């Protein structure tokens, strides 16, 4: 889960909530979704707290291909 | 050093004064009409106006004093207007600046820049470059944002500040470009193409801070318009101030009034996401609670069902049925017995009423001949010496017939 981007984690969180809305699933699965969902929510919050805008600059390499380099 | 004291060496003031005199004694320059385009128009609180008249090759500073403005019927000036200004040309000695002291202004139709602007706009519109159907939706939460602007510009710092605050989850790829001057259109187009070639950016902000109409003019260039149109990545334009509209604004997938506004439009606000995450977390807990209470209820229902089906209960119920049935049986048999009893009593009573014993009790007796046990009811039946048994209520009397 650590590797998930905010968008991915958020999408999964939404999916977990949607899944839980279906009351017909087995308890074990419901608990699984709940626990996963709570972890995803925490992960999302953590990402939001820690996020830092990354800025790079594009330039054209000697062989004409665009390459990224740090900005500032 | 030698000629310092020579009479032919003039001081700045002297030469300025001389120039001023020359200008002010020239008949043509003292009442002249000059045609050009208004640029860099500024009005000061004093009521004096300053602007530059320009054409393709040259420019002339102009000052339009408040009094002169009041006297004339000059229209409200703005940048890009093509005008003819009447006045005198003189030297502003302090700055060594030649300027037109305007007395009157007449419009001479739309400025050339605006004419070109309108022509290009009409042509591109006819081509369908501004069609709403061409506008692509912006990604809701782009993880990579391209920016085409000048790396030194304040606009870039403003945009980065907004992105940092609103959506630090993203990363930014700056594709640097000159944003003013003759080279700017090609540079902007190239920078935008480069972002497309690189391909990671999900949305591009084309930004430039406020400036004079000339400074923003690159964004009215067809080369830039074409580059925006062919960009596979959606483009947000944020050029100049609220009131500035450029061709780039019309072609872009979304127009923002300023670079800052463009940055805001490009990304969601992290604060909303934060709230959204909390919301989802609550929902998750609510659903889980609902789910669990639902399960609990079902469990309780099932438990009751199970209880109902317990063999012990079955047994007890059977036992009760057995009890009930045997009680019924008992009652039935009692009834039948009592019925028989009643009948027996009836018969016994009848029997009793017919019993000879009753007759005997009243003093009659039953006499039997011992020889054959026949009951003697007539004299003819007995002879002397016959042995008889006389039955009375409490026993038998044995007798012998004497005669």
Residue B217: partners with Cβ closer than 8 Å, 6 or more residues away: B113, B180
Sign (positive or negative) of CA dihedral B293, B297, B299, B300: positive
Q: How confident is the model at residue B109 (pLDDT cuts 50, 70, 90)?
A: low
Tokens encoding B66: 């408040």
The pLDDT score that the predictor gives to residue B298 is 86
Chain B nearest CA to A50, separation (Å): 9
Rounded-to-integer distance, Cα A38 and Cα B332, Å: 72
Q: How confident is the model at residue B43 (pLDDT cuts 50, 70, 90)?
A: very high
Query: Are the beta carbons of B81 and B121 closer than 8 angstroms?
Result: no
Strands B203-208 and B387-392: unpaired
Residues of A within 8 A of B146 (CB-CB) are: 58
Chain B nearest CA to A23, separation (Å): 6
Strands B32-43 and B49-54: antiparallel
Residues of A within 8 A of B276 (CB-CB) are: 10
Q: How confident is the model at residue A27 (pLDDT cuts 50, 70, 90)?
A: confident
Is the CB of B168 less than 8 angstroms away from the CB of A53? yes
Q: How confident is the model at residue B1 (pLDDT cuts 50, 70, 90)?
A: very low
Q: How confident is the model at residue B162 (pLDDT cuts 50, 70, 90)?
A: very high
Nearest to B194 among A5, A34, A60 (CB): A60
The pLDDT score that the predictor gives to residue B110 is 54
């Amino acid at each position: 889960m650590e590797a998930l981007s905010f968008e991915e984690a958020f999408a999964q969180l939404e999916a977990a909530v949607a899944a839980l809305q279906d009351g017909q699933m087995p308890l074990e699965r419901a608990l699984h979704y709940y626990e996963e969902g709570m972890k995803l929510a925490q992960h999302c919050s953590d990402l939001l707290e820690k996020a830092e805008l990354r800025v790079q600059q594009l330039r054209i390499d000697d062989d004409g291909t665009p390459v990224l380099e740090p900005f500032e | 050093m030698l000629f310092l004291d020579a009479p032919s060496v003039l001081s700045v003031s002297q030469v300025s004064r001389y120039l001023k005199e020359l200008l002010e004694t020239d008949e043509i320059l003292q009442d002249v009409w000059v045609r050009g385009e208004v640029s860099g128009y500024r009005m000061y609180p004093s009521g004096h106006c300053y602007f530059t008249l320009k054409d393709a090759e040259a420019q002339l500073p102009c000052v339009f004093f408040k009094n002169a403005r009041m006297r004339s019927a000059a229209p409200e000036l703005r940048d890009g207007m093509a005008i003819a200004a009447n006045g005198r040309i003189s030297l502003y000695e302090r700055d060594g600046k030649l300027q037109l002291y305007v007395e009157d202004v007449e419009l001479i139709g739309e400025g050339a820049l605006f004419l070109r602007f309108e022509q290009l706009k009409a042509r591109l519109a006819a081509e369908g470059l501004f069609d709403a159907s061409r506008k692509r939706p912006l990604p809701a939460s782009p993880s990579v944002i391209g920016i085409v602007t000048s790396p030194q510009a304040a606009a870039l710092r403003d945009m980065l500040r907004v992105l940092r605050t609103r959506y630090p989850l993203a990363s930014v790829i700056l594709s640097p470009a000159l944003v003013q001057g003759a080279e700017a259109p090609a540079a902007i187009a190239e920078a935008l193409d480069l972002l497309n070639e690189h391909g990671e950016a999900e949305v591009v902000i084309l930004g430039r801070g406020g400036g004079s109409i000339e400074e923003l003019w690159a964004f009215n260039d067809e080369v830039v318009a074409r580059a925006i149109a062919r960009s596979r990545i959606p483009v947000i334009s944020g050029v100049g101030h609220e009131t500035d509209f450029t061709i780039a604004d019309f072609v872009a997938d979304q127009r923002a009034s300023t670079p800052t506004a463009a940055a805001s439009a490009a990304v969601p606000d992290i604060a909303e996401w934060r709230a959204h995450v909390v919301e989802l977390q609550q929902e998750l807990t609510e659903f889980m609670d609902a789910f669990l209470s639902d399960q609990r209820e079902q469990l309780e229902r099932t438990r009751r069902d199970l209880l109902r089906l317990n063999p012990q209960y079955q047994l007890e119920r059977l036992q009760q049925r057995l009890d009930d049935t045997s009680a019924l049986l008992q009652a039935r048999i009692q009834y039948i017995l009592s019925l028989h009893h009643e009948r027996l009593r009836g018969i016994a009573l009848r029997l009793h009423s017919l019993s000879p014993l009753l007759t005997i009790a009243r003093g009659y007796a039953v006499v039997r001949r011992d020889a054959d046990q026949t009951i003697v009811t007539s004299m003819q039946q007995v002879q002397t010496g016959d042995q008889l048994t006389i039955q009375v209520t409490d026993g038998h009397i044995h007798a012998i017939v004497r005669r």
